[in-house]
Structure formats: structure tokens, C-alpha cells
Amino acid sequence: MLGRDGWAGLVCLAGSLGLLALTRGLPQPALVPIGPGFYPRLVLGSTALLSALLVLADLLARRRAGRPRRGEAPGPAPRPLIPPGWPLVLTTFGLFAAYVLLLPGLGYRLGTFLFVGALEAALEPRGGRRWLLIVVVAAATALVTHMVFETYLSVLLPRGRWTAF
Amino acid sequence: MLELLGAGILNVLQAKYLLSLVIGTLAGVVGGALPGVTITMTIILILPFTFGLDPLQGLAAMTGVYVGGSAGGLITACLIGIPGTPSAIATTFDGFPMAQKWQPGRALWLGVWASVCGGLLGGVFLIAATGPLAAFALQFGPWEFFSLFLFALAMVAGLTEASLLKGLISGAIGLMATIIGADPIMGVPRLTLGSEFLQGGFQFLPILIGVFAFAQIMTDIEKMGGPGPAREVARVAPSLSVSHLKVIAEILGRPFLLLWSTVIGILIGVLPAIGGSAANIMAYDQAKKLSRHPERFGTGTPEGIIASEASNNANVGGSLVTIMAFGIPGDAVTAVMLGAMIIHGIQPGPLFVSQEPRLAYGIFAAYLLAHPIMVLLVGAGARLFLRIVTVPKPVLIPVVLVFCVIGAYALNNIIENVYVLLLFGVLGYAMVKLGFPLAPLILGVVLGDQIEVNLVRAIMTDANPWLFLTRPISGTLIGLSVASVVFAVWQHHRAQARLAEAAEPDVDF
């Protein structure tokens, strides 16, 4: 049975081998000693090798852990993969993904206002007078950054396809 | 050299450059003081503001952030016992106990003035050493550059706290991100899956922002609900005013400590991979070992503050030497600095100082001027900065994420860069959760293109692969790379052996 490192190594191994397979279609020029596939193959091959070693190291470590010998070091307790605050982490990722995906449609100002407000509310859902602060911070973030970047720094922020705002 | 430096200082003293420098230093001090917001993060957040500026304005701001951030971390380290940045960890050991003895002003200003002394001595080294080192680097061909970049990657991967294998895989993932897109020889699209956006390859800024911002912010979110600094500020009731002459005399009265800590900071800065946090702790450790009263360390002794703060600011000077002379970043902060330079159209390396003297000496001048500016800012606003650091995380985090989006989007004004930010944000967080270090990944992303270009150039020039080993500088660098990997393996085994000894059960005979 694999541990955390073993699974991570397997994912890296699969990813690098998958990409390595994609390099097979790259052309090999006749006039130069190396073609466009040379360096990617070197990098991906090395990654695959290192990942396989990580899987192997994990398997060996787990086998050793299964047969404790006198005086052998107890391995460090693995950190929990799923963090204690995972619902908030998941919510943040979800809200951020929604923000990023809806940004071209909603536009920067509306999208940012909604994202900042929603994330603030999610991170500190106490209700009451906090709502006023949430709305003020969300509106200020959207408007001040828009003004600073568009007016003073000549950075054009996305306009909404659906809102034209 | 002095003429060029004088011209550089006069140049940076012009209002438009000085304003950038002041704002950058202010942002650095505040960002450095905010626990959980590192210097890297502050540079990332400030970077989009510099896109529309001329290169020297942008780089003055970045230099200010770097210098200000290195000193900013000491404000919270001394006054509330929480290091604002990893490079202020050792400052906490004596700074906070001194503040608790009702001497917060002395603790703070010993740190600030030690930072100035260390930083300025680091600046002297930066100005004096960059030219000769760049001249030395001019002897480098593609073999040497390839080996140098490999050495930097091997050092970073080997010196991480996680396993060597994970460090190397992290670096390899960084390199993988750079092989997507058109190849540098024939422009053939590689691994683009038919995407037009991917033909240009990933821009490294959205990757940097995604990896760092999410790894840090999500880790903060995990811990949310824990005790924040707000309650602790109340402890710092006494005045922060102090006799500056007395404090400076206290520092200059320990010239050996100051110089030795500065040398440690500079050397660690010059070496790739180690960074300000190691400089800070190593200088503290050395000061303790060389002290006649090591037992006083940790109780609020000035030596502890002077050593740690002089070294972490001197480290900035050393890191800038490596970037400007060789074009390689020393750690994550300098990787972002290097990225910032490239975004402003500057390719640091051996030719940079000779071809762009105005910019190079402008950076030196900005570095020197950032120190007095930092002193003025801390003097004017230390208490205010303490209030800023109490801004609740639920308010701060969404705003920081919005800045990340702007930073990624404003690079080319395309939304795909924001998708890259999200993708690498998820990847960075997953890597942290799986125990992979992020610094090798960043270095891989930053150096990947250069590694490929130099490898290809070397092979195109002469297909004999032994040249990488037989050319003296290249061979030495490859040898050092192997040595750093072997050293990391040896260190790992030694740590395991110590753990085994510690676990040895007591046996009754």
C-alpha cells in the first residue's frame, strides 16, 4: 500500500510519462544535432525517473516501518493531507474559480465586488453590522483598484461581455 | 565607478524615481511587518503597479520593497514577538524579550540601525563586486551558464527541508512548465494540445503569483480562528522613542559582531538557494557561539538583535550581486526580483552593468537610498504599522487575491493568464500539502528557458558532451552540483541516524 509520497510520485510519474508520449510527434530536423523534442524529453525523462524513485523510496520506507528494528528511528508523523479548515479552503478555491471564470462576463468591477463580498462573508460569517463593512470593503476594493489601475497606471481591466461594465 | 554612482544617486533623487522608491520601501516595510505576508508576496503584489512605469522607476520600487521588507519584519518581531518575515525569525529571540523588559524602542531601533549598517555594508560589496564578478562571468560560454544554472537548481533542491527527491521533483516540475510552447530553435509548438494561448508558453509571473499566493493564503485560511496579533499589540504600551545616537553607539561599539554578521549575510546572499532566513539564523548562531556571554542570548541581549538584523539586510546586497552579475536568483525573493527585471525588459547577466550602466547604477543608488528612507518611515509610522498588521485576515485575504488577479491579467491584458494563476495556485497548494518545497519549482520556472537555450547552444557549437566536464569552470560547477546533492543525501542520513539514536530505548542491564 502506498503512502502520501508514493501517491504524489505516481501522479508525477503519470504526468511526465503522458507528456513524454506527446513529444513523440515532434519533428527531428536533419541539419542540426538536436531537435525541439530533445530538451523536453530530457526534462520529462528525468522527472519520470525521480518520480519512480519517490514511489520506490515510499514503498521501502513503508516496508521498513512494517518491520521495526531495535533502535530504528520512528518516521515523522505524516501531516494530515486534509487540513482542519478544509471547508473554508474549498470555499475559497470555489469562489476564486467562479470569480476567474465569470470575470470576462461580469467585468472587473462587478465581478470583484461580488467576489470580495462573498469571500469576506465566507471567511467571517458573523452577520449583523459586519455586513456593512463587507459591502464597504468590497465596493472600495473594486472601485479604488479600478480607478488606480485604469486612470493612473494605464492598465485596462476586463469589461463585462454581459454587463458592458 | 564613483562618478557613475554619483550620477545614479542624482538620477534616483529626481521626484519620479524617489516617489517610486519611497512607495516601494513603505510597501516593503508594511508587507514585511505583516505576519504571513512575506517579502516575496509583497513584491508580487507591487509588481503590477510598476507595469506602466519606466524600468528604473519600477526597479527602484522593487528595490525599495526588498530593502524595506527585510527591515519591516523586525517591527512585529520586536514589538509583538511574531516575525513579520522568515528573515526576522532570529530577531524575535532577543528583540521581543527586550521589548517585554519595557525597552521596546531600544529593541526596535537597535534592529533598524543594525539593518542600516548591515545593508549599507552589503551595498558597498554590491557596488564593488558586481563589476568584477560580471567581468569574470564574461568568460562563461553556454557550457558554463548551463552548469551554473544546474548548480543553482541542485543547491535549492538539496538545501530544502523536505527530502532531496521532492526538492528535485519540484525543480523538475518548474522546468516542465517552461517546455510548453514554441521551442527556441525552430519555433515548433511543443505540448500545446492545439491551444493558441499555449503556443506562447506560460508566462512565469502568473505561475509565481499562483504558487506563492495560494500556498500562503490557503495555509492562513486553514489556521483561521487562531489568536491574531491584535490582542498582543496592547502589550507595547511604553514609548518607542529612544536616543538614536546611543543606539548607534551601541551597535558601532561591537564592530566585530557587526562585520562578521554582515559578512555572513553577504556570503549567504551571494550563494544561490540559501536566503535571508538562513542568514538571520546563522548570524545569530555565530554571535552566540563567539560571545563571552552566550547564556544572555534569548533574554533580550542587543548582540542577538544586531547580528540577526545586520545579516538579513546585508543578505539583500549579496543576493543582488548574484542577480546582476550572473543573472541567477539566490532564492524565491530574488527569483521574483529577476522576474520583475525581465518584465521591465532587462536581462540581468554579465553584460548588464557594462551595457546598461544607467540602470545598474540606478539600482545601486536605489538600494543605498532605500536605507535612510526606511529609517524615516519606521520612525514616522512604527505604531501605525502595528495598527495595519491588525487588519483582520477576512478583510485582507480577498483584497490580496484581487491584486493577484490584476497582477496576472495586467501582464498581457489576457484572461488566460488568470486561468494559469488559478491552475498553478491549485498546484502550489497541493504541493505544499504533499510536502514538496516551492523554491525549486520557482527557480525551475525562472531558469528553465535559459537552461534550455544554453544547453542547445552548447550542443550546437560542439556536440561533444564531455565539454561540460572538461571545461574548467563548467566542470567545477558540475562538481559542485554533485557535491551539493551528495551533501544533502549525507545530511539526510545523518538526521535519520540522530533520530534513531534518540529513539534508542533505555535498556536495563
| Best-predicted range by mean pLDDT (B7-11, B36-40, B293-297, B471-475) | B471-475
DSSP states along A103-140: HHHH-HHHHHHHHHHHHHHHHS---TTHHHHHHHHHHH
Is the Cβ pair B421, A12 closer than 8 Å?
Answer: no
Q: Is B196 on the interface with A (CB under 8 A)?
A: no
**For the ranges A150-159, B243-252, B307-316, B468-477, the one whose mean pLDDT is highest:** B468-477
- Phi and psi for B182 in degrees, rounded to 5? -70, 140
For residue B58, give the C-alpha cell.
519600477
Angle at B213 between CA B157 and CA B66, to 5 degrees: 75
Sign (positive/negative) of CA torsion A5, A9, A12, A18?
negative
Position B175 confidence tier, pLDDT thresholds 50, 70, 90: very high
Residue at B504 is within a domain: no
Say if B173 falls within a structural domain: yes
pLDDT at A64: 79
Q: Given a cut of 60, is residue B228 above it in pLDDT?
A: no
Cβ of A133 within 8 Å of Cβ of B395? The answer is: yes
Contact A19 B176 (CB under 8 A): yes
Indicate whether B265 pLDDT > 60.
Answer: yes
Residue B20 parent element (H or E): helix B15-33
Distance CA B169, CA B439 (A): 11
pLDDT digits (tens, 9 = 90+) for A90-110: 999 999 999 999 999 999 999
Least confident of B154-158, B207-211, B226-230: B226-230
Tell me, rounded to whole angstroms, the distance of Cα A74 from its chain centroid: 32
pLDDT > 50? residue B506: no
Beta-carbon pairs below 8 A across chains A and B:
190
Query: In this structure, is residue B508 part of a structural domain?
Result: no
pLDDT band at B268 (very low <50, low <70, confident <90, very high): confident
Determine the residue among B185, B188, B214, B221 to mutate to test chain A binding: the one whose Cβ has the most chain A Cβ atoms within 10 Å: B221
Q: Is residue B509 part of a domain?
A: no
pLDDT tens profile B442-479:
888 878 888 898 898 898 888 888 999 999 989 998 99
Percent of chain B with pLDDT over 90: 10
Does residue B506 form part of some domain? no
What residue numbers bound the domain in which B260 lies?
2-499
Q: What is the ipTM of this complex?
A: 0.89
pLDDT of B436 > 80? The answer is: yes
Contacts of A120 in chain B (CB under 8 A): 394-395, 398
Q: How many domains does chain B have?
A: 1
The average pLDDT across B37-45 equals 79
Residue B137 has pLDDT above 70, yes or no: yes
* Any domain includes B261: yes
pLDDT of residue A129: 65
pLDDT bin (cut points 50, 70, 90) of residue B508 is very low
Instruction: Give the chain A residue nearest B182 (alpha carbons).
Output: A36
B509 confidence band (pLDDT: 50, 70, 90): very low
pLDDT in tens, A9-66: 999 999 999 999 998 888 877 777 788 889 999 999 999 999 999 999 999 888 877 7
Computed over every residue of chain B, the mean pLDDT equals 82
Min Cα separation A38/chain B (Å): 9
pLDDT for the residue B231:
41
Considering only the beta carbons, identify the residue of B165, B224, B401 that sits closest to A85. Answer: B224
